[in-house]
Amino acid sequence: MPGFTQEIVPTYGGEIEALVVRCDNGKFTPIADAVHAKVQQAIDNLNGLDESSVTLGYDVAAHQVEMHGLVCSQLPQLVSSYCASLEILQRALKQEAGASLLSSAYHPFEDPFAAYQNVLPKPIYDLYRGFIPGKSPSHPLALERVYPTRARQGRCWAEEMGSMAAAIHPWNALYLESAASQVAMLHALGWMFNLLTANSPFSAGKLSALRDYRVQIWGPRGGMMATSRYRQDSALVQNLPTRPRGLADYYRYVFSTQRPMAIPHIRTEDGKDYKSQFLALVQPADWQDFTVLSYLQARSVNAVDMATGEIYEVMPNVGHVINGFDFLYYPVYGARLRLRLPYAELIDPVRFAQAILDNDESSLRSLLLRAGLEEGYLCIEGRTAATHLPTSMRSGWARLSIPFVLQTACLRAHHELWELLDTTGLSWQDLTQTLPALTNSIEHGFQARLKGIEVSALASQIWRLVKQYLTFEERALVGEEIDRILRQKRAAAEEQVSLYERLHSKHQEIVAMRLLVEQLHMCQD
């Protein structure tokens, strides 16, 4: 689009989540504060005085570690720094806690309710799941002032399921002009990330029907949001229903399905994330329409300080729905955009919302630039890939590197990829709904076919195309691993099923499962 240019330096980031289990019985175990502090210090020493460094945090529970915060100008630097940090953590867990990281995206036999006993006391979780004695840090009246009915149930999410899982979320900086095409591409290729990385075919000690059971926690049936008080929440986990032709298309879907729940606190403190410091929006009746777009067009709303129960009147601001608060979209087989606008308060929220509603791409881009996009960022966050770590069965870091390398390659090659996909005759629904269901199925997986197309053959064709857009050093991160997986039609999920069948032929079911988990412990050279 003439007249709009954005100068950015390509940068790479991401989050790596991993599960922590006891070495003796394979069950979840939280990380002790002393161990956490020691590991963080060692990671800081590793990174030196770099402006950006790896932070060791947690996801939902204290047995779910999350490494994040590092931003690099070179992809190999990012991946190698995360690998070195994971090695430091694994060494400390083994030596000081008798524990290990687990190379699985979902625990094979743990119980979600038992796992949730390790949940972190963060007020955002009260909004999601409601009040839990001994686990809720919020003011006793806070939820009553947020929700008009059934207040102590919060948003009614079954959040305990989230304490069972781990994933890798690569981040890439995007150009404004190409972002819509690129986010659409990752939605269209979620099936390929699943095909290559799925590694959790077990649940509750049994073989499931899915190669990556982790995605079930986001599913419309039996997932975290299946019990939500808001029917519209089911859209939060869906891929985009149509291919977006511009950013306005993307945000019209995302912001019209999101019912906002939290905005930045008027008193901010350095080092506090959105899960700990925010204001909770007072919700209208469950049946009333309330979306991000209607919020931006409101004159004012009430919001509650979850720590004190105090109610504030706030004026809507574009910064309330981005700048770290654009988290409420979890496409199972896709990606989401993340915006950082340092001057978001300078643009009119009503004009911003109207530009999206009117599909006015020109006005939307103009507003983003006026809000300081060039000093902030527009990033894409992949949501599909499972967490892989080196094990005794498969050493090295190639599998952990696949999501970072494949996402980078696909984003660079998006124009040529669209030309390739357009020749297949596959529709948007085929790519974003049917194919992911097939590739994640134990029954189909690498053998899946759709409209005469062999999925594994299409994946090989895509990889041959996109790997040309990688440097030698970037390709070296994965080596021949992607080619090997596609050639053998066998990824981690298939390896685990075969191993379990061998173990089960010699041992009782429960013993075989524990022996399987032992083989999934992270292994260091």
The confidence score (pLDDT) of residue 268 equals 61
| Domain spans, the chain | 12-118+163-218+330-341+376-520
pLDDT value of residue 5: 47
What was the pLDDT predicted at 1?
Answer: 35
pLDDT of residue 147: 97
> How far is it, in rounded angstroms, from Cα 460 to Cα 408?
17
CB burial string 481-510: b at 16+ within 10 A, e below: bbeebbeeeebbbbbbbebbeebbeeeeee
Q: What are the tokens at 173? A: 């900086």
pLDDT score recorded for residue 4: 43
pLDDT at 247: 98
CATH of domain 12-118+163-218+330-341+376-520: 3.30.590.20
Q: What pLDDT is attached to residue 51?
A: 57
Burial, 67: exposed, middle or buried (Cβ in 10 Å; 0-12, 13-18, 19+)? buried
Q: What is the pLDDT of residues 147-164, one digit of tens each?
A: 999 999 999 999 999 999
State the pLDDT at residue 10: 82
Give the predicted TM-score (pTM) of the model. 0.95
- Mean pLDDT in order along the chain per 10 residues (525 residues): 51 97 97 96 80 88 96 96 97 97 98 95 94 93 96 95 96 97 98 98 97 90 89 93 97 97 77 72 96 97 96 96 94 96 96 98 97 96 97 96 98 98 97 98 98 98 98 98 98 98 96 97 87
- With tokens 């022996």, the residue in question is 515
Beta bridge pairs of residue 170: 14
